[in-house]
Chain A
Amino acid sequence: MSEYRGGAQARTALARRHRVRAWEPLPWIVALGFFFAFPKHLGFGTEVLVTILFALSLDLVLGYAGIVTLGHAAFFGVGAYTVGMLAKHGLWNEPLTSLALAGIVGAAVGLGSGLVLLRTRGLTLLMLTLCTMALLEEAGNLAHTWTGGFDGLDSLPIAPLLGRFEFSPLYPTTQYLYVLVVLFLCFVFVRTLVYSPFGQSLTGIRENILRMPAVGAPVPRRLAVCYTLSAGIAGIAGGIWAQANAYVNLGTLGLDRAATVLIMLALGGRGRLYGAFVGAIAYMVLSHFLSKIYPTAWQLGLGLLLVVIALFAHNGILGLGETVWRRLRVSRPLNMGAPQHRTPNPPL
């Protein structure tokens, strides 16, 4: 390949990578289609959408900045309790503003804990995120006059959306569309972020955290910003979950939720934006059916699948797809002449 073509290709790849691909509207069309095709399963659909949003927030820290955390449910829970306590105690129940508050409180807790925690790395960081979450959970348990303790808060009186659309637990049409719109907005935000110079510097931190200070990057500050934004989105996910279900309990900030979302992201493929979608859907659909077929041992099936993913598809389902796609393209005769210059950061 000539110098000129190699350089021009690299330049074009970088200039175009943020462009919307032809297939990108597809997930949103499917989500809308689901609304009309499965009116009886909108409750499940809403749960999936919230989970995607939560997984997306984790992707920002884990997939892009490379921060391995086991405590991300802390922010989900903080957001959920913000909405829950405000509504239950008759303080505030307008959905949009309380959702914004859930995001702000999540972000604030993210910033506060991030400033301390992000000074550490690896296993220490993992343990500290876990401990922070456990502390919050215990605090939630102890402050039961406010949080309802172990039982949580139920029958939250959430006001109608925009003053018109009721949240009905039996026919969650409002919830589904509401969550879909919020997910879309958050997705656009995250997508913009990861393709920006800031996002590029996050990938730099992920790829080599030791090199970054040597190029003059204020690594702790950048990580704190990323962690705060991610915690804000997780807070929104938790807040909207509480609104959609009209209840909140300690399970929103437990290890179970934190570990599950991590598994989903690994399953779908981290650092790929759509990994959150694929992982959350694959996990939830699989566990849904496995639990029906093998009510007693379904988690075994999930465990086995994870082992397979970890061993053979390090980058999750999307990573596997990319590899197969590349092989197919390389073996096409049309491309045999020129060496393949792969795009290192695939659009997925």
Chain B
Amino acid sequence: MTAPLLETRALTRNFGALLATREVDFRLDAGARHALIGPNGAGKTTLVNLLAGVISPTRGQVLLKGRDITGVGQAERVKLGIARTFQINRLFRGLSVLENVYIAVAERMGVAPSMFRPAGRRTDVVNESMHLLDTLRLTADAGRRVSELPYGRQRLVELAIALALSPEVLLLDEPAAGVPSAESHIILDAIDRLPPEIAVLIIDHDMDLVFRFAQRITVMVSGAVFASGTPREIGADPEVRAVYLGQTARG
């Protein structure tokens, strides 16, 4: 078995008395399509925050390609190839779609500290941003202010910013959350078309999506990993069905 791309060992995080993450041993392989499911409040977002370095664990380790990155901050982890989207949009709302992506591309290309050349003259950054918008079919909206876009399109910009970082690991926290079902296919199509070399961890409550998309599923309950396996194993697991799948409309 190859070494995992991203791994946690006995990862634990508490908020006061609440154990939001308990002893989580998790692994994400290169190019994986991995889904993280679990009821509301199970600790899925907290795990993503720990992986992305937004919060630090109370105990345990996070490793990237075998290297301990537990003490590495959020911004530095992005440089190491870990990007994420947010369950609730975190966009540069007053700026155009193009500027939103430009900020991320400029950051990745190391252009952002430069002070004396106009941003628009950096055609390398602009071209790369436009190309990315093209692949997400956002070109027509490139000049529009993000806050003027319908929510579904805003979710796409959320994804675009993360992709602009050319990640090796992409953590998607409920990418279609809040999008009306008539529009959600835009997001799902975009996720289906993600480059195969990116390892994707997706949190979602839509079981059809999860079982169609994922090669591996991890189920979290009350902060701990409850089960982990292929979609077939998870779908057939009676305990999982009892605690989680049974409550949803599947099967």
Minimum CB–CB distance from B123 to chain A (whole Å) comes to 8
**Residue B52 CB within 8 A of the other chain:** yes
Q: Does B142 lie within 8 Å of A200, measured CB to CB?
A: no
Q: Does B120 lie within 8 Å of A216, measured CB to CB?
A: no
**Residue A288 CB within 8 A of the other chain:** no
* A interface residues, tally (CB under 8 Å): 45
B112-157 interface with A by 8 A CB criterion: 112-123, 125-126, 130, 133-134, 137, 139-145, 148
CB-nearest residue of chain A to B79:
A216
Task: Name the segment of B60-68, B93-101, B181-189, B217-225 touching the other chain.
Answer: B93-101
Task: Name the segment of B36-44, B84-92, B195-203, B240-248 touching the other chain.
Answer: B84-92
Task: Name the segment of A6-14, A119-127, A150-158 touching the other chain.
Answer: A6-14
Q: A200-B106, A213-B75, A214-B84 are in contact. Are A344 and B94 (CB under 8 A)?
A: yes
Q: Does B142 lie within 8 Å of A201, measured CB to CB?
A: no
A215-254 interface with B by 8 A CB criterion: 215-219, 222
Task: Name the segment of A25-33, A96-104, A191-199, A277-285 touching the other chain.
Answer: A191-199
* B interface residues, tally (CB under 8 Å): 58
Q: Does B112 lie within 8 Å of A197, measured CB to CB?
A: yes
Residues of B within 8 A of A1 (CB): 140
**Residue B111 CB within 8 A of the other chain:** yes
Interface contacts (Cβ under 8 Å), in number, total 172
**Residue B165 CB within 8 A of the other chain:** yes
Q: A14-B126, A192-B116, A208-B93 are in contact. Are A342 and B121 (CB under 8 A)?
A: no
Residues of A within 8 A of B97 (CB): 10
Residues of A within 8 A of B79 (CB): 216
Q: Does A6 lie within 8 Å of B141, measured CB to CB?
A: yes
With the chains together, A211 CA to B83 CA distance in Å?
11
**Residue A41 CB within 8 A of the other chain:** no
**Residue A2 CB within 8 A of the other chain:** yes
Q: A198-B114, A222-B113 are in contact. List 5 more A-B contacts (CB 8 A).
A: A15-B121, A200-B99, A201-B106, A207-B92, A211-B91
A-B CB contact pairs (8 Å), 28 listed = A2-B140, A3-B139, A6-B140, A9-B143, A10-B130, A10-B144, A13-B96, A13-B143, A14-B96, A14-B99, A15-B121, A195-B118, A197-B106, A197-B119, A200-B99, A200-B106, A201-B103, A201-B107, A201-B112, A201-B113, A203-B99, A204-B92, A207-B94, A208-B91, A208-B93, A215-B161, A217-B112, A344-B144
